[in-house]
A = this chain, B = another copy of it.
Amino acid sequence: MKIVCSKSKFSTAISIVLKAVSNKTTMPILECILIEAQGNKIKLTANDMELGIETYLDGEVIEPGRIALEAKLLSEIVRKLPDNNITIETDDTYQTMIRCEKSKFKISGKEGSDFTELPEIEKDKFITISQFTLKEVIRQTIFSTSDNENNILMTGELFEINEDKLKVVSLDGHRISIRNINLKENYGFNKVIVPGKTLSEISKILTGEIEDEVKIYFTSKHILFEFDQTRVLSRVLEGEYYKISQMLSSDYETKIDINKKEFLECIDRSTLLIKESDKKPIILNITSDNIELKINSTMGSLKEEVEIKKEGKDIMIGFNPRFLMDALKVIDDETISIYMVNPKAPCVIKDNKETYIYLILPVNFNI
């Protein structure tokens, strides 16, 4: 194989596929990036058997072929080469010469045929959304996935398509995050549970531009994201996702409207007096037209007040401050509405159109 391509394009392509390179593996081939040159196309692939990414880049193919190179070393070498054309040339023993200006690196490669390429999947079920929307919806829900592998379904997110609606759900046993998105077309019915790791890696690759689109294909085993010159293929989590509809009652005894920024900053300050190990809740005392927040700890005490608009009963309720902050941080609205029933029942933060619903379980407290 012999190819010539620009350092910057090669570097970008490597950084994309690098997200699917295995860090901990006993199979050295999984630590490699496969370079394939055919026609006038150069393709890079990485695959850790859960997540696979391939991306194309432009370049000159002088001699077609393929080689697998150790991903980290390749990425470091390319990053430190001058900003000019790079020539990569392999010989029969998989020795690989990487040249740029007067630098000549020689490293050992592996036969490309040891590499597991991404399988082709059926492409009959799909949706199209903007990269911006996908990147945002991941950011707005990923924090409430669990990293406890014992509840494997909690490590993923539900993507549920219902005609022209996409619902994305994550939950970790203490809280549920739901985002509802309007699609431009009617795509029928479908649902799939996507591993959280796949979503967080893909959100790092997405440009996040509104005008850039991503096509998402679903099968019973896989989910495929296609965008720009890149394909990201992931296994899906198999099983039946949690029934959440029964947890989302619309009854409430207390509803408050509150300035989001003020509320968030005030909870943030309260965490200063709580050590992580304490697991002490913050207690909200909601009366006529304000929330009073009080913390007493060995480090000191804090009293805060935030003005609110209240409907219904007064209530005193305790929360893990981090759970409230995680939800508040990803809501863009200036004023938010919080619905409560009693100090033992979950509170719900949602907008009128239910584009977002954040449900958080309260915590017991002693006064």
Contacts and interface: CB of A to CB of B under 8 A. Distances in A.
Interface string A172-183: 000000000000
Interface string A294-337: 00000111111110000000000000000000000000000000
Interface stretch (A97-105, A115-123, A188-196): A97-105
A360 interface: no
A299 B80 contact: no
A266 B102 CA distance: 9
B299 A104 contact: no
B304 A81 contact: no
Contact of A300 (B82, B108, B301): B108
Nearest to A302: B105
Contacts of A300: 73, 105-108
A105 B274 CA distance: 13
A82 B272 contact: no
Given A80-B265, A265-B82, A269-B80, A103 B304 contact: yes
How many subunits of this chain does the assembly comprise?
2
A363 to B, nearest CB: 22
Given A108-B300, A300-B108, A266 B103 contact: yes
A287 to B, nearest CB: 15
A248 interface: no
Given A77-B272, A272-B80, A104 B303 contact: yes
A268 interface: yes
Interface in A244-274: 265-266, 268-269, 272-273
A76 interface: yes
Interface string A68-87: 00000100110011100000
Contacts of A104: 302-304
A273 B106 CA distance: 10
A205 B94 CA distance: 53
Nearest to A290: B102
Contacts of A107: 299-300
A288 to B, nearest CB: 16
A69 to B, nearest CB: 10
Nearest to A298: B108
B306 A102 contact: yes
Given A102-B306, A105-B273, 10 more contacts: A73-B299, A80-B265, A80-B269, A80-B272, A81-B269, A103-B269, A105-B272, A105-B300, A106-B303, A108-B300
Interface of A: 73, 76-77, 80-82, 102-108, 265-266, 268-269, 272-273, 299-306
19 contacts: A73-B299, A73-B300, A77-B272, A80-B268, A81-B269, A82-B265, A102-B304, A102-B305, A103-B266, A103-B303, A104-B302, A104-B303, A104-B304, A105-B272, A105-B300, A105-B302, A106-B300, A106-B303, A107-B300
